[in-house]
Amino acid sequence: MADAALAIDAYRSLAEDEVQARILAARERLGDRVVILGHHYQRDEVFRHADFSGDSLKLSRQAAASGAEYIVFCGVHFMAEVADILSRPEQTAILPDMAAGCSMADMATLRKVEQAWQELGGVLDPEAAVTPVTYINSSADLKAFCGRHGGIVCTSSNAAQVLEWAWSRREKVLFFPDQHLGRNTALLKLGMHEEDIVVWDFTRPLGGLTPEQVRRARLILWQGFCSVHMMFRPEHIEAFREKHPEGKVISHPECTYEVCARSDYVGSTEYIIRTIAESAPGTRWLVGTELNLVNRLHARHRAEGKQIHFMAPTVCMCSTMFRIDPQHLCWTLENLVEGRPVNVIRVPEATAEQARRALQRMLEVSP
């Protein structure tokens, strides 16, 4: 066994056929010592190697249930962190490219959230009045923050159940980092009113709010967003409906309220896939989520005569998900064959322990 890990540089120029064949060969040698988890936004050349695919909730359950020695996560950084936190200590979580982050997750940092918590403390007692809820698209230290302040994690598929749990414990919720998931869930699923909601501008003292606004609010939304889902606009839906009045519109809850309110269905990537799969042959759909998934839906359902349209006229992909390419997957697996894990994601145990509490609460609320 050589001492140093195989370098990525030698992989960058590998031809597609060769890289695919080498991935298959490495997998064969690793057998059930490795499991590959793939998020729905992964490009096809990577996605085809996933043992399990899913939305964030399904993949975190899969990571917790896996017995494999190595969990290779084809997704983004926070997903591999969750895999590390929920797996056993002897298992190793790996992210094939460390640069695969989530720009929305980066919009809330522990320093900013702690500052917000402290500033809220000037108006009320947050430990008694506010449940912190973090979208799973966040760093492990924010999940740990929720763990130690009586809070919880949610995903796009269980946000309504989690928010109900949060309000059953304390009168207010501080929700980060995605304002749109929070607003869409509160207004469209839980029947809350606009006047109960305020947006916390994390660049301004007290989030740019008055103490009175904070006291009145039931939901305080962090001003974060996903730039991919912000590309979908109400006018795209209007143009589609005009042309195809019989068509259905389905969106991810990271889209704006204006988009979700005009959609027939709103839900996670897994929900979008299931809803379209269960629809009648010949149905026409406008889909507001990431392009790789929409292209896959289009190819999968073409034979049944289902027409799948992408909501935006421009190409909008998650550029960080796209960083996981077959070359990085091959490099990761061949290093495992050599007994040298690369790109290991290891959350420090003190953080992991508190983050696990918030994740476990979520898994209990939405088993």
Considering only residues 61 to 100 of the shown chain, the ones binding ligand SF4 according to CB under 6 A are: 76
Measured in whole angstroms, the distance separating CA 141 from the mean position of its chain's CA atoms is 16
Out of 37, 228, 330, 342, which residue is the one contacting ligand SF4 (CB under 6 A)?
228
**Contact (Cβ atoms closer than 8 angstroms) between residue 152 and residue 166:** yes
Q: How far is the CB of 233 from ligand 13P (least distance, A)?
A: 17
Q: Which is nearer to ligand 13P, 23 or 76 (CB)?
A: 76
223, 200 Cβ separation under 8 angstroms: yes
Candidate segments 101-109, 260-268, 326-334, 346-354, binder of ligand SF4 by CB under 6 A: 101-109
Q: Which does 155 bind (CB under 5 to 8 A by kind): ligand 13P, ligand SF4, none?
A: ligand 13P
**Token reading at 317:** 């992909």
Q: Build a one-symbol-per-residue string for 239-258: x at contacts with ligand SF4 by CB under 6 A, - elsewhere.
A: ---------------x----
Whole-angstrom Cα distance, residue 65 to residue 74? 17
**CB of 144 or CB of 318, closer to ligand 13P:** 318
Q: Does 320 bind ligand SF4 (CB under 6 A)?
A: yes
Q: Residue 277 in contact with residue 302, Cβ under 8 Å?
A: no
Query: Least distance to ligand SF4 from the beta carbon of 257, Å?
Result: 17
The entry of ligand SF4, ligand 13P, none that residue 156 binds, CB within 5 to 8 Å by partner kind = ligand 13P
What residues form DSSP beta bridges with 266? Answer: 251
If one asks whether residue 55 binds ligand SF4 (CB under 6 A), the answer comes out as no
CB closer to ligand 13P, 156 vs 263: 156
Q: Which residues make up the interface to ligand 13P (CB under 6 A)?
A: 40, 55-56, 137, 155-156, 226, 254, 268-269
Query: Nearest Cα to 41, choosing from 367, 331, 347, 322?
Result: 322
CA distances from 58 to 44, 74, 195, 240, 308 (A): 19, 14, 34, 31, 24
- 260 contact, one of ligand 13P, ligand SF4, none, CB 5-8 Å limit per kind: none
> Considering the complex, what minimum distance in angstroms separates the CB of residue 213 from ligand SF4?
27
CA distance 37 to 48: 11
Between 333 and 359, name the residue whose CB sits nearer to ligand 13P: 359
Tokens 């947006």 identify what position? 199
Contact between 91 and 73 (Cβ < 8 Å): no
| Encoded tokens for 325 | 């390419």
- Interstrand relation of 248-251 and 265-266 (parallel, antiparallel or unpaired): parallel
Q: Is the Cα dihedral 40, 88, 365, 168 positive or negative?
A: negative
When binding is defined by CB under 6 A, the residue of 187, 226, 324, 355 that contacts ligand SF4 is 226
From ligand SF4, ligand 13P, none, interface partner of 56 (C-beta below 5 to 8 A by class):
ligand 13P
